[in-house]
Amino acid sequence: MSTLSDSQRRTLLQPLLTSGWTVVENRDAITKKYEFSDFNQAFGFMTRVALKADKMDHHPEWFNVYNRVEITLSTHDCGGLSTRDIDLALFCDSL
């Protein structure tokens, strides 16, 4: 596992940045805030992401309060953004 190349950052990361993901300051990571109508929907989203993340052996950093979920993605194995983060971010957005 390696961090994204400059080319991958332009082709894979850039579309995520236009869909609400942002780069974390002073860290090679991305983050996004999701808001749902209630806790049940937020928890359902987190459950689906947790099941996918476990299958990928790639676990997000996240925070939840009632109907809000904040997710931060970075691959600890390589110390920065990898294709795993892109794949999990795309999955989150697909939900």
Distance CA 86, CA 74 (A): 9
pTM above 0.85, yes or no: yes
87: confidence class by pLDDT, cuts 50, 70, 90: very high
Location of structure tokens 């989150």: 92
Can you point out the beta strands (E) in 1-95?
22-23, 30-35, 61-65, 68-73
Q: Say what percent of the chain tops pLDDT 70.
A: 100
pLDDT digit string, tens, across residues 29-60: 999 999 999 999 999 999 999 999 999 999 99
- The per-residue pLDDT for 1 is 83
* Two tokens, residue 1: 């596992």
For the chain, give every domain's residue range.
6-21+30-94
Distance CA 57, CA 92 (A): 15
* The architecture CATH gives domain 6-21+30-94: 2-Layer Sandwich (3.30)
The CA R_g of the chain, rounded to the nearest whole Å, is 13
- The per-residue pLDDT for 73 is 98
Location of structure tokens 């794949």: 87
